Amino acid sequence: MIKLADSPPGENVSGSDRTESVEEFVLTPALSVVTTMYKSAPYLETFYERIVAEVEKLGVSHEIIFVNDGSPDNSLDVVLNIQKSDSRVIVIDLSRNFGHHKAIMEGLSYARGEKVFLIDCDLEEPPETLGEFYKRFSESDCDVVYGVQESRKGGWFERLSGGVFYKLFNYLSDITVPENWTIARLMSARYVASLVQFKEETMFLGGIMTAVGYRQIPLVMQKLHKGTTTYTLKRKLSALTSAVTSFSEKPLKFVFYTGFLVAAVAFIYALWLIFQKFVFGIPVDGWTSLAVSIWLIGGLIMLCLGIIGIYVAKVFVQTKHRPVSVIRQIYEVND
């Protein structure tokens, strides 16, 4: 969209004067496609061809933003070669690998479209779903149409651990994240503008996207499976801990109530021992029970201090106000 400066009411403006009254030409594409790259070189050309074909079916102006998240392969070279034949391709090269979700936020902050389509470029989320997202968005009064897997991809372990992850998160957190959500989603410009205001060092994108609000509706889609995943059990446990402590104070309440319960039980037991001693003359002994009690209390103390420590660490990191990511260079063709 080209925006011209308005003329004063009742004043005729000649061609030359009108040219001088133009403050600037602002090109706003109807659609921005945002994706990130990490070890993505084998998929990029196919992804580009398929997503462009889908955008052309819609007949709308567009831009395609690739964010290189410190990919160790030649993903950057591949997409720069694509850019030579398509000036609508924009490449954001981050200085190192900051993580998938942070790279996504960087790409979204640069998107200028009236609508923004977010999708991974590894072809697990078919680019051909763009038409379905666009249709649902146009038919609904909403700001986001997000993808939801019809059935969770992967083997039994990935499906089971993924299900447990979201059930635990939704139970412990103050917001509810849809289970089996996908990165693929179509968003309004105002939603994206609100989303990128979240500058969190520890970033769980599913929680942030839900916390932003607005009317969001699901679209059931099929997500393909490449056969491998980088999300091991260790990474999932770490992600769960990080996600819960970013969106909930319930673990801290757990620490309080646990401490209160242990103290209450210990106080009642102490009264019972005193009662036995002075009423029935029963001596207080039992080194085994004492040792077990010490280990139990010690373990609870360490657990509670650990939970508090996680929150303190998050506050420590966030107060540094470090940038979420660092851009090394932006490759853009100016027509």
Q: What is the pLDDT of residues 38-89, one digit of tens each?
A: 988 899 999 999 999 999 999 899 999 999 988 898 999 999 999 999 989 9
Residue 167 has pLDDT above 60, yes or no: yes
What pLDDT was estimated at residue 100? 85
Residue-wise pLDDT for 208-258, tens only, equals: 888 888 899 988 887 776 555 555 556 666 666 666 666 666 676 677 677
List the one residue out of 34, 48, 103, 113 whose CA is nearest residue 80: 48
Residue-wise pLDDT for 107-152, tens only, equals: 999 999 999 999 999 888 889 999 999 999 988 889 999 888 876 6
List the one residue out of 219, 220, 148, 212 whose CA is nearest residue 175: 212
Tokens 């500058």 correspond to 199
Residue 171: CA count within 13 A, CB half-sphere: 8
β-pairing, 144-149 vs 62-68, is: unpaired
List the one residue out of 170, 182, 180 whose CA is nearest residue 104: 182
User: Residue 335 and residue 308: Cα distance in Å, rounded?
Assistant: 54
Residue 305 has pLDDT above 70, yes or no: yes
144 membership: H or E segment, kind and range: strand 144-149
Kindly give, in sequence order, each residue whose CB lies less than 8 Å from that of residue 195, ignoring residues fewer than 6 positions away.
105, 108, 187, 208, 209, 212
Residue-wise pLDDT for 177-215, tens only, equals: 777 888 889 999 999 999 888 877 667 777 788 888 889
